[in-house]
A = this chain, B = another copy of it.
Amino acid sequence: MIIVLKPDCSEPQLKHILEKITEMGFRHEVSRGVKRTLVGVIGEEDRLRNAPLRAIPGVEDVMSVLKPFKLASREFQEDASVFDLGHGVSVGGGNLILIAGPCAIEGEQVLFEIGRAVKEAGANVLRGGAFKPRTSPYSYQGMGEAGLKILRTVGDELEMPVVTEVMDPRQVELVNRYTDMFQIGARNMQNFNLLSEVGQTNRPVLLKRGMSASVQDLLMSAEYILASGNKQVILCERGIRSFDNSTRNLLDLAAVPNVRGLSHLPIIVDPSHATGRPDLIPSMALASIAAGADGVHIEVHNCPEKAMSDGPQALLPDQYAELVAQMRAIADLLGKTIPAPGDAVTV
C-alpha cells in the first residue's frame, strides 16, 4: 500500500500516521517528493487492505499495488485450469464447451427435441432453467424440481452434461442432486452466501458476471467460491449495462483476454443474454471463439414464439447448427478442441 499525504499534512499528523501503521503491525517507508510525501506500508496484503488507513487525518489517498484476489490469480497457479463436466466433456486448456438449450425447461418432450438438435449440431453441454430469476414477480418463475428431473433425464438420455441455475442457498442441495454444473446468474454474482454454499460442494460452478461488475469484481466472487473449497469455477462474460439500449447489455469481449491474463480459470461467453438479439448472436459467438474464449453459451429453442421465457432471443436449431460449423472452423484454426459428449445418440 502507498499512502499519499495531503500537501498540508503536518509533522504531528505524519507522526500519528506512522504510529498507527506500527500499531497495526506493518512497516513503513517515508519518501518525500517535491509536492507530496508518500508513505509505503509493508505487510500482509489482506490485512493492509482492510485497515482503514484512508480515515487517518492527513491522508489524501491510499493506492494499492497488488490485486485483491489470490486463489483465482495466475500468480497462484500458472497453468490454465481444466475441469471435467462428465460424459467426456471438459473445459479449459484448449477444450471448448458449447452450452446450448432453452432458457426455461418447459417439458420433457420439448427439452429432448431441442437437446437432440443441439447435440447433433455439436453442442456438448445442455442447459435449461428450472428456477428463473425474473425482474417481474408476475413473470414465469420456472418448473422447480420437476424441471430439474426433466433436465437430468434428458441429459442422461442424450449423454450430455447439464447445467442449470441455482438462485438460493436453500436450493443448493436439491439442485446438486440433478445437475452436472451449477450456474450462478448475473443478479446473484454478489450473493455471497450463495457463493459460499456452492463453494462447499465439489460440483463445477458457472459464474456469470454481474451487470455492474468489473472484471476484478468477477474474480473476487470466484475467490469466494475458491476460498470455500471448491476449485472448479468457470467464468462467464454476458454483458454489462451501458447507455446504448440497442442491445440488451454491452458484451465486454475484452474481458476474455483480460481474465486470461489475470487468472487460470476458464472463461466462456454468453452472447444470447449479452445482446438479446438473434441477428447479433452468431457474429458475437464467432468473435468469442476468435478472442480465445473457452466456450460459448447460447439459447436455442425450436419454437421461439411459444417459449415461456426469452423466446425472442433464442436461435432456431438450424441457425445454431450453421453457427457451430463456423465456430468449429475458427476453433480448428486456433488449435482448440470441442469435446464430443458421450456416444452417438441412437434415437
Contacts and interface: CB of A to CB of B under 8 A. Distances in A.
Contacts of A204: none
A339 interface: no
In which size bucket is the chain A interface?
A: 35 or more
A7 to B, nearest CB: 6
A289 interface: yes
Interface in A280-327: 280, 283-284, 286-292, 304-307, 310-312, 314
A191 to B, nearest CB: 6
Contact of A330 (B31, B196, B290): B290
A191 B305 CA distance: 28
Nearest to A47: B138
Looking at chain A's contact residues, the main secondary structure is mixed
A7 B138 contact: no
Nearest to A59: B312
A121 B312 CA distance: 43
A30 B170 CA distance: 48
Contacts of A80: none
Nearest to A56: B305
Given A55-B304, A286-B290, 17 more contacts: A31-B40, A38-B65, A49-B139, A50-B139, A52-B310, A63-B63, A136-B220, A137-B196, A137-B220, A167-B192, A167-B193, A211-B212, A243-B243, A251-B252, A258-B280, A287-B291, A333-B333
